[in-house]
Amino acid sequence: MNEPVLKADRTLRRKMILFLAAASVLGLALLFFFQNELGQVDQLARENPRAALEQLLNRLHLLALSMTLLFVPFSLYLLYFSIRTYRASRFPPPGSRVVRDTRIVTGRRARMKGIAGVLLAAAFLGLALYTVRLSKTIGETMLARRDNSGAATTGTAHDATDAH
């Protein structure tokens, strides 16, 4: 099997390594930020459980929105790349740059990769958009349950405390 190979683009490889390093540093910074936020929410939960739950749900919604903003462009690029692959019956499609030497696949196998990429892009896009709605629904449900179940218990606890 003497299949043609698309040679790696060293400049693209360096850019990708820098991008991944920057994304990792940003991810770690966000992790530490959210750990600090969770500590503040934990402290608030002792004083005002309802406010703590609202703050936690706002953070969940913000996280879901952030993930959506990352996945939508990625999904759209994957869709574009996959359509190009399908139309050209070649993977990677003509004009593509790669970060490592990549064997060129043509014909039916390339079209199948294109179809798989379109399906994957559609799934990512759907999940990304649904995540925001899901986080909002979870928040509304948790707050409603908290109000329904907490009203009876917290009401009696406050009444007992106010009596003294």
Count the helices and strands in the chain (H runs, E runs). 3, 4
pLDDT in tens, 103-137: 999 999 999 999 999 999 999 999 988 888 888 88
19 within a domain of the structure (yes/no): yes
Count of domains for the chain: 1
pTM metric for this prediction: 0.73
60 within a domain of the structure (yes/no): yes
Token representation of residue 78: 């994957």
Task: Give backbone dihedrals phi and psi of 106, rounded to 5 degrees, phi first.
Answer: -130, 170
pLDDT in tens, 29-76: 988 888 888 888 888 888 888 888 888 888 888 888 888 888 999 999
Instruction: Name the residue type at position 89.
Output: S
Higher local confidence (pLDDT), 91 or 40: 91
CA neighbours closer than 13 Å in the CB half-sphere of residue 61: 13
103 within a domain of the structure (yes/no): yes
Q: Are 92 and 6 spatial neighbours (Cβ–Cβ below 8 Å)?
A: yes
Domain residue limits at 96: 5-138
